[in-house]
Every structure is written in structure tokens, then in C-alpha cells.
Amino acid sequence: MTFVLFGATGDLAKRKIFPALYNLFLDGKMPDSFSIIGLGRREWSDQKFQTHVEESIRSFSRRIMEDNPKMNQFLHAFHYSAVDITDQQAYTTLLNDIQKQENELSIPENRLFYLSVAPDLVDTITANIKSSGLGSVNGWKRLIIEKPFGHDLASARTLNAKLSESFEEKEIYRIDHYLGKPMVQNLEALVSANPALEALWNRDHITNVQITASETVGVEERAGYYDRAGAIRDMVQNHLLQLIMMTAMHLPEDSDAEKVRAEKRKVMEYLRPLQKEDVEANVIRGQYGPGEILGAPAGGYLEEPGIEASSRNDTFIAARLWVDNDFWAGVPFYIRTGKRMKDKSTRIVIEFKHSGKVDAAPNLLTIDISPFEGVSFQLNMKNPFNNQIEPVVIDFSANSKDVPEAYELLLSDALRGNPTFFAHWKEVELSWEWVQPILDVFEEDKVPLHVYPAGSMGPDASQQLLKEDGFSWWDHV
């Protein structure tokens, strides 16, 4: 297999892709013969590239083997080519190089193209892969593509139409790294392998579902991108809607990739569309102001370098959604995400119906996705000392340094041709369809922008959203 990495000198390659490939290699999960070709604008030699890859592994891999022969053997597979991505001729040269290697090293004609580049370069690259013949293979070809997949519904459709000229849907692996997180991949099994839970996984037993992805970081060095994207595009359209799909789907037995994706699509098809006039009542838009994070003063969004003082960008979103099918009708799904919040935490809390006993708390199933990984269940017990009913939490923690990282799981699946945990075009399109009215309303600046202090759990309006339905966010379970 030849792994062709566009954007090989970039940040994602350094932090995630090289360490993931290295760990797959150590685990014997790379194909028997492989070659990795890094492409970038800078004029690097193979030697320089290999040193860069080694450094990135030493800084970011969850495991380091001091066994030099293994590391050397791994690095030996890396080659570098400086290319101008818009130059068609460069692709023909690349094809010749790849074919030469395939012949010399008896590598089957299987080619994986990984696009870790600015979104506006994607269609040029895929068109050139096709026209140069790089994509005409005797084995398989696949395309891995990073977010953002479009800026809105129309641009996502245009992008997909362009990609479809060079790759078939089954060859396109759209990364949503939340789908690579072990606890997200575990959701499926958690429900379907536990009949006790499966029996309760519906509107008869669940009152509401709460999904939070809070971050302590601010806009960092990404002002140019983030100020145009906002939390709605950066987190909601992709990661949070994917978490809703993964939570709400009901899997048939013997589920394969296509069935899982079909069930996820069904969830999106039943997601109640938001009309523009409903946005204000169901979506809370926030932006962080000055505050304090972990005891240190933190500036507001408008003071961040590269952000205009007049920006109305959303750094926080909370929303109420409804999945109008037989399983979930009447059960609100609340989502919430923001920068510069109190904690870094992604978790799902399922609140079960109350028993009716006055002093009992509701049963809660909490799925911690990151950085803490675990599952806990809150039950009620009678305290023998005072005879009171009190909540107790039964806990399972999956935290271990040996747990593979999202990118390892995703790359391993892509290498094996398993698309289960990649976003199908239909999921992406339906997600944009749901989000589009919100984008329109934000664009027209028709709804309030609530300022929340850095270091908080977001604006009060987000608490209010749940209060209207008689609920509150479970932050301390």
C-alpha cells in the first residue's frame, strides 16, 4: 500500500498522523509492504522528512520504543516530494515515482490519498489525481479527507459533487475524529451488548439526553478560520450531531458498516428540522468575555489576536433537538459546546425517568468520552445509618495509556477498508441541512449573542433552555 499524504509538513501530520501510523506499525497493523510519500510545498529531502517524522513521534506518540531497528525500519518507509499542488505535471512525476517504488518493493497497487490541506485545495487535488492516472489502480484506491467538509449546505454539496468525479462514495473516508474516540465507538456495544440497557433505550424510560463538549482553550492561533466558522460549524455540524446519531441509533443484530451508517442516517432523517423562526427558542448563541480559567485571568474573545472588536461570532452553542421517531419522540436531546469554559470534557448524560419516590434522584448513565474515559451509573440506595435514600455512583474507568488514540483506530479502519466510523455523505448533507437555518439566522444577527465569562459553563440562557422543560444540566455527577 502506498500512503500519499498531502500536507505532510503540517500540524495535523505531526501531532496525529505520524504517531498513529507508528503505533499501528508497532502493533503489526500496517500492511506487509508499505510506502509513505509526504507531499508539501517546502523543499525537504527524504532525510529531513524522516527526521521530522521521528521528532513528531518522540513528542506526540503515546508509546516510544527505544528499539532503534524498529524505528529505523519504520522511518525507512517515508519519502518526501516537494510539489506545487496546482501543477498537473507534478502529479505525473509523482505517479512515476510511486510506480517505480511499487515495482521495486513489490507493493500492491493499493493507494490511500490523505488530504490534510486547506479546504480550497481539495477539489484541485482530487481532479489532478484523476487526470494524472494516479487514481487508476489495479488494487484499491481510497481518499481520506479532513473537516471542514464545506462551509454551508451549498458549498458542501458542491465539494461532494467535485469529489464524486474522481472517487466513488465507498472510496471516500470523511474523518470526524470524534467517531474515532474509543468511548464513542463503544456506544454501539454499550447498548446492543447489554440487553438491560437496550430495553431502556427509548422514550418510555429516558426523559432527556445531554451532550456536552466543553473546552478550556480559546481561539488559539486559528482566528482566521474560527471567526468565520464559529462553534456551530466547528463543533455542532460535525462532532455533536455525530454524537446524537451514535446515541440515538438502534442497531439491528449483526450490524455491519452499511447498517450502522443507515441507522445513523435514519436518526438524521427523523431529526426535527428547525425553521428560522424557531432558532431563537431552541438555540443559544454565546461568546466568551473576560474571566478566569484555572485561577488565571483570561481575556475575552474580542481581545484575541486577529479578532475584530465588532465580531459577533459564536464561541458557544447550546441547543434543544428532537428525534421524532418511535424510540425518541418527546425526549429532548440537549447539546452544548464552547471555548473557554470551565473544564475540558466531552460527555453524554442519559437521564432516566424518575421513580416517583420523593427523595430518590433520577438514574443517570454518564458516558465520559474525553479526556476522561469511562461509564458510570447513578442508582439510589438506602443509607443504613440514617435510613435515607441516597444516590450512589457505580463507576468504570477506561483510562489507560494503552488505549489507542482516535487517529489510530480511524487509520486502521481506513487501511482495512472499513468505513463504519467515517461520515457518509448523506450524514454530512443532512447535518448541514439541519444547521443551515441557524447559519442564516446568525448571519442576519437576528438572535441574541450572550456573553459568558471565560471559565464558566456558558451563558445563563443555556441553563434556562433546560429549565423550561423542568430539567437542568448534570455537571457534577
Which residues are part of the catalytic machinery?
A: 239
Which has the closest alpha carbon to 282: 174, 438, 105?
A: 438
Cell numbers given for 165:
468525479
Shortest Cβ 375–ligand BG6 spacing (Å): 18
> Residue 136 — φ and ψ, nearest 5°?
-95, 105
Q: Is there a binding annotation on residue 402?
A: no
Q: Is there a binding annotation on residue 205?
A: no
Shortest Cβ 376–ligand BG6 spacing (Å): 20
Shortest Cβ 99–ligand BG6 spacing (Å): 36
Q: Is there a binding annotation on residue 13?
A: yes
Cell numbers given for 136:
487508476
Distance between CA 42 and CA 325 in Å, rounded? 52
DSSP per-residue codes, 402-417: TSPPHHHHHHHHHHHT
Shortest Cβ 13–ligand BG6 spacing (Å): 16
Q: Is there a binding annotation on residue 100?
A: no
Q: Is there a binding annotation on residue 234?
A: yes
Give whichever of 62 and 259 is closer to ligand BG6, judged by the CB atom.
62
Give whichever of 215 and 314 is closer to ligand BG6, judged by the CB atom.
215
- Please classify residue 443 by burial: count the beta carbons closer than 10 Å to its beta carbon, then call 0-12 exposed, 13-18 middle and 19+ buried: exposed
For residue 371, whether the previous peptide bond is cis, meaning omega lies within 30 degrees of 0, is yes
Could you give the strand order of the β-sheet that contains 172-174, starting from the edge strand earlier in sequence?
78-82, 35-40, 2-6, 111-115, 141-145, 172-174
* DSSP category for residue 139: S
> Residue 14 — φ and ψ, nearest 5°?
-65, -45
Q: Is there a binding annotation on residue 12?
A: yes
Torsion angle, alpha carbons of 17, 22, 23, 25, to 10: 130
Q: Is there a binding annotation on residue 319?
A: no
Distance between CA 69 and CA 74 in Å, rounded? 8
Give whichever of 40 and 180 is closer to ligand BG6, judged by the CB atom.
180
Q: Is there a binding annotation on residue 147?
A: yes
Give whichever of 287 and 346 is closer to ligand BG6, judged by the CB atom.
346
Give whichever of 315 and 378 is closer to ligand BG6, judged by the CB atom.
315
CB-based contact 402:376 (threshold 8 Å):
no
3-state secondary structure 226-266: HHHHHHHHHHHHHHHHHHHHHHHCCCCCCCCHHHHHHHHHH
Taking CB atoms, the residue at the shortest distance from ligand BG6 is 234
Give whichever of 102 and 405 is closer to ligand BG6, judged by the CB atom.
405
Give whichever of 234 and 413 is closer to ligand BG6, judged by the CB atom.
234
Q: Is there a binding annotation on residue 11?
A: yes
Give whichever of 370 and 380 is closer to ligand BG6, judged by the CB atom.
370
Shortest Cβ 321–ligand BG6 spacing (Å): 20
CB-based contact 321:310 (threshold 8 Å):
no
Shortest Cβ 214–ligand BG6 spacing (Å): 9
Shortest Cβ 229–ligand BG6 spacing (Å): 8
- Please classify residue 378 by burial: count the beta carbons closer than 10 Å to its beta carbon, then call 0-12 exposed, 13-18 middle and 19+ buried: buried
Query: Interface residues with ligand BG6 (CB under 6 A)?
Result: 215, 234, 346, 370
Distance between CA 71 and CA 189 in Å, rounded? 35
Distance between CA 14 and CA 381 in Å, rounded? 49
Q: Beta-carbon neighbour count of residue 33 at 10 Å? A: 14
Q: Is there a binding annotation on residue 356?
A: no
476 CB contacts (<8 Å, ≥6 apart)?
A: none
Q: What is the distance between the terminal CA atoms of the chain, rounded to a whole angstrom?
A: 47
Using DSSP bridges, classify how beta strands 364-370 and 345-352 pair: parallel, antiparallel or unpaired: antiparallel
Shortest Cβ 439–ligand BG6 spacing (Å): 17
Q: Is there a binding annotation on residue 94?
A: no
Rounded to 10 deg, the angle between the 425-443 and 241-248 helix axes is 130
Distance between CA 22 and CA 64 in Å, rounded? 9
Annotated binding site for substrate: 177, 181, 215, 234, 339, 344
Annotated binding site for NADP(+): 7-14, 41, 84-85, 147
